[in-house]
Structure 1
Amino acid sequence: MKKLISIIITFLVFTSSFSQNKFGNPEVNTIQIQKNFSEWSVYQAKNIMLSRDFTALDAASKEISKETFLDQLANGNFIPIRLKSEAGMYVYKLFKIQPKSDTSIKATINQIGFDALKNFEMEGKAFPKFSFKDLEGNLVSNESMKGKIIVIKCWYIHCTPCIREFPQVNKLTEEYKNRKDILFISLAEDSPEQLKTFLVRKPLSYAVIPDMKIYMNEALQLNSFPTHFILNKEGMIVKVLPNFESLEVALAKESKL
């Protein structure tokens, strides 16, 4: 009987261990990465894309929903670390923030988590109703965009990260120029006069709709720029994204559906 109990305990321990390790080990030292804000920030920017589809694990290596994972980042005391896995497979796990870690890390992660959770909760919903004219006088509305995949960039002139990605988003429009079912538009806070002067120096290949500050604040409730939206052909929000890198990945996926 004792031998049977011993076998059962051994089996349970092995099963638990396998369950926790089947996704691989962390790709970085989870303690070392927290010692320096700059080092962690570089890792976070290059390796963690919370807008993508990924397998989410809690601190005990248990699979959880993406929503729960993001909520823990927004309100808890965790950092996300990618586990070693096959190419094209993304597994993120929560690790406790160490007591002696730079306090800026926790504050930044909480904000990143809050923004990512807010974006995630918008996905699957209809894009708020609108009807506006771009700088060329063309009417852009929910109705005029039906049946097409819509890429929307939200920005303003004095947003440095927004402007920094102009060359990349311009290149993206060039890559999809033969896809008549994909439209690129942008919502800008600034006036038509300000935008026309600015865009002479910094061209943007998207259609630009001016005076969108109130709409972006009230209808979209944005508090972070740039923000990108991808809408499917039914006008539903597929993805809400914080930068070009995540936009490029998500559009490649949506354009193949």
Structure 2
Amino acid sequence: MQKFISLITLLFIFTISTAQNKFGNPEVDPTQIQKTYPEWAAYQNKKIMLSRDFIALDASSKEITKESFLDQLANGNFIPVRLKSEESVYVYKLFKILPKTDTSIKATINQIGFDAYKNYKMEGTAFPQFSFKDLDGNLVTNESMKGKIIVIKCWYIHCTPCIREFPQVNKLTEEYKDRKDIVFMSLAEDSAEQLKAFLARKPLSYSVIPDMKVYMNESLQLNSFPTHFILNKEGMIAKVLPNFESLEVALAKESKL
């Protein structure tokens, strides 16, 4: 009887262990990555993209919703680490932040989690009503854009990460130039005069709409730049993204729908 109980116990432990490890081990040591803020920041910037589609696991390796995962990042005491998997499959797991970890790591993760959670909650909702005129005098409205995928970049002249993306987003518009059902436009905080002078030196292939600070602050409630939106053909927000890398992946997916 004793042997029978032991076998059941071992089988139970094996089953739990297998379930927890079916997604693979962490690609980095969760303890080591917390040693210094620069080490964590370098990993996070390169490997953690919370706007993409991913399988979410809590600290006990239980699969949870993306919403719950982001909520715990925003309000809890965790770092996200990617688990080893196929290149196209993303699995992120929560690991406890250790007591002696630099407090800057927790503060940064909470802010990133908050922004990602807010963006996630916007997905699936209607993009706020708009009627814009771009720098060339073209009128753009919700109605005129129906039936098209709209890619929107929100930025301003003195945003270094926003400007750093220009070569990449320009290349992206070139890749989709034959897709008449995809429109690229940008909302900028700056005045038309400032933008014309700036874009003469640093061209942007998107149509550019000036004086959008109030709209971005009040209607979109943005607090970080750049922010990219992908609207589907029904005018609904398909994705809200913080950088070009996430945008490229999401647009490739949306363009095939």
Normalized against structure 2, the TM-score is what?
0.98
CA distance in 2, matches of 1:130, 1:189: 15
Q: CA deviation at 1:10?
A: 1.8
Residue 113 of structure 1 aligns with which residue?
Answer: 113
Q: How many residues align?
A: 257
CA distance in 1, matches of 2:194, 2:22: 55
Q: CA deviation at 1:119?
A: 0.3
Aligned 1:139-158 pairs, distance under 5 A: 139-158=139-158
For residues 172-213 of structure 1, the C-alpha deviation after alignment (integer angstroms, 9 at most, x for no partner) is: 101110110100000011111111111111111000011111
Runs of 4+ in 1 over 3 A off after TM superposition: 1-4
For residues 49-82 of structure 1, the C-alpha deviation after alignment (integer angstroms, 9 at most, x for no partner) is: 1011100000000000000000111011100000
Q: CA deviation at 1:39?
A: 1.2
Q: Structure 1 counterpart of 2:29, which letter?
A: N
CA distance in 2, matches of 1:87, 1:33: 21
Q: Structure 2 counterpart of 1:59, which letter?
A: A
Residue 29 of structure 1 aligns with which residue?
Answer: 29
Aligned 1:1-257 pairs, distance under 5 A: 1-257=1-257
For residues 153-190 of structure 1, the C-alpha deviation after alignment (integer angstroms, 9 at most, x for no partner) is: 00011111111111110111011101101000000111
Q: CA deviation at 1:224?
A: 0.5
Q: Structure 1 counterpart of 2:99, which letter?
A: P
For residues 197-232 of structure 1, the C-alpha deviation after alignment (integer angstroms, 9 at most, x for no partner) is: 111111110000111111111110000100000000
**RMSD (CA atoms):** 0.8
Matched position secondary structure for 2:143: helix
Q: Structure 1 counterpart of 2:19, which letter?
A: S
Q: Structure 1 counterpart of 2:78, which letter?
A: F
CA distance in 1, matches of 2:88, 2:197: 42
Matched position secondary structure for 1:69: helix
Q: CA deviation at 1:11?
A: 1.7
CA distance in 2, matches of 1:54, 1:251: 16
Matched position secondary structure for 1:143: coil
Q: Structure 2 counterpart of 1:112, which letter?
A: I
CA distance in 1, matches of 2:134, 2:181: 19
Q: Structure 1 counterpart of 2:194, which letter?
A: Q
CA distance in 2, matches of 1:101, 1:216: 35
CA distance in 2, matches of 1:197, 1:171: 22
Report the identity percentage: 81
Q: CA deviation at 1:36?
A: 1.2
CA distance in 2, matches of 1:209, 1:89: 36
CA distance in 1, matches of 2:88, 2:190: 39
Normalized against structure 1, the TM-score is what?
0.98
CA distance in 2, matches of 1:178, 1:226: 26
Gaps of 5+ in 1: none
Q: Structure 1 counterpart of 2:62, which letter?
A: K
Gaps of 5+ in 2: none
Matched position secondary structure for 2:50: coil
CA distance in 1, matches of 2:75, 2:87: 30
For residues 3-25 of structure 1, the C-alpha deviation after alignment (integer angstroms, 9 at most, x for no partner) is: 33323222211111111111110
CA distance in 2, matches of 1:26, 1:5: 33
CA distance in 1, matches of 2:106, 2:225: 21
Matched position secondary structure for 2:240: strand
Matched position secondary structure for 2:99: coil
Q: Structure 1 counterpart of 2:100, which letter?
A: K
Q: Structure 2 counterpart of 1:186, which letter?
A: S
Q: Structure 2 counterpart of 1:184, which letter?
A: F
Q: Structure 2 counterpart of 1:65, which letter?
A: T
